[in-house]
Amino acid sequence: MTPMRAVKTTAFHAVSGALAVAFLFPLVWAFLNSVKSPEEASRVPPTWFPQSLSLENYSGLTSYGEGLGTYLFNSIVLSVLTIIGTVLVCVLGGYGFARYRFRGRGALFGVTLAILMVPYATILLPLYIVLGELGLQNSLIGLSLVLIMFQLPFGVFMMRNSFESVPRELEEAALVDGCSDFGAMRHVSLRIVVPGVVTVALFAFLTSWNEFLAPLIFLNDGGKYTLPIMLVNIRSGAYGAIDYGALQAGVVVAMIPCLVLYVALQRFYVSGLVAGAMRG
């Protein structure tokens, strides 16, 4: 290795390490504060490390409001509904755009992508009225439909590019063997584009799990609130007092599923983004 190359490699690893520390520091800080006593977590100036380990913040979190279990259950239900709906619509829509030629195909695809251009907050009120007409206000199902709609541009674009990267000859061979169009897609192409499907599902999960504004607008029953709303309520506190220990414990609880899923599905996520970016 030449001296110049060694310098570049060292600089690259140094910058990468610094960025990794910068991104990991808030997560480590939240965890350390969550295992402090409530008094120490609220101390000014703050202590770097807990003087004694305590799970009091987590125990207090379980009885906050409707209870941590209720908020956690609501977030899980919302995420599962959003993931299932997003994957179904985006897989079928992406396959249709990739394999079928019909009048207005380009315009319809452009309209789907145009959802990205609409300011998110400006259509929440019209959507609230629409859900009211459908009887889906204050409902996790109605909220999941809203989140699915906002996942369509990225999801359909990703799946269309993923299906276009699959040779048509593979599906034609399945058709010759007696498969229907849907059977060829399900048994052949869908298995090849699994990384793209996982990427779409992961984005849908992260969006629904961390979404705050839409649940705040569409839900008015405390028993149906999700984790982000619970965290904001803790931050607001009573009479301006903030329970920083409980807040950091809630942050740790909320971020654990995101970290676990991302680490577990990282290889699918990276290959899915690469496959989706290769065409289009």
Distance, in Å, from the CA atom of 94 to the CA atom of 189, rounded to the nearest integer, reads 12
pLDDT at 230: 87
Note the pTM of the prediction, 2 decimals: 0.84
Helix axes 244-264, 68-99, angle to 10 degrees: 30
Contact 247, 235 (CB under 8 A): yes
What lies within 8 Å, CB to CB, of 113 at 6+ separation is 153, 156, 157
Q: Token pair for residue 109?
A: 């695809």
pLDDT at 113: 83
The sign of the torsion formed by the CA atoms of 221, 222, 226, 231 equals: positive
- Alpha-carbon distances of 200 from 151, 197, 262, rounded to whole Å: 8, 5, 12
Residues in the chain with pLDDT < 50? Answer: 276-280
The distance from CA 237 to its chain's CA centroid, rounded to whole angstroms, is 27
What lies within 8 Å, CB to CB, of 236 at 6+ separation is 242
pLDDT at 125: 85
Distance, in Å, from the CA atom of 165 to the CA atom of 98, rounded to the nearest integer, reads 9
- CATH no. of 57-277: 1.10.3720.10
Instruction: List, in sequence order, the alpha helices (H) in 177-211.
Output: 181-184, 190-192, 194-210
Domains in the chain: boundaries: 57-277
- Number of Cβ within a 10 Å radius of residue 125: 10
pLDDT single digits (tens) 122-164: 888 888 888 888 888 889 999 999 999 889 888 998 889 888 8
Instruction: List, in sequence order, the alpha helices (H) in 37-135.
Output: 38-41, 56-62, 68-99, 105-114, 124-134
What lies within 8 Å, CB to CB, of 187 at 6+ separation is 174, 179
What lies within 8 Å, CB to CB, of 258 at 6+ separation is 205, 206, 209, 210
Q: Token pair for residue 10?
A: 């060292």
Distance, in Å, from the CA atom of 62 to the CA atom of 148, rounded to the nearest integer, reads 30
Task: Give the 3-state secondary structure of residue 76.
Answer: helix
CA dihedral 135, 141, 210, 199 (to 10 degrees): -140
Contact 198, 269 (CB under 8 A): yes
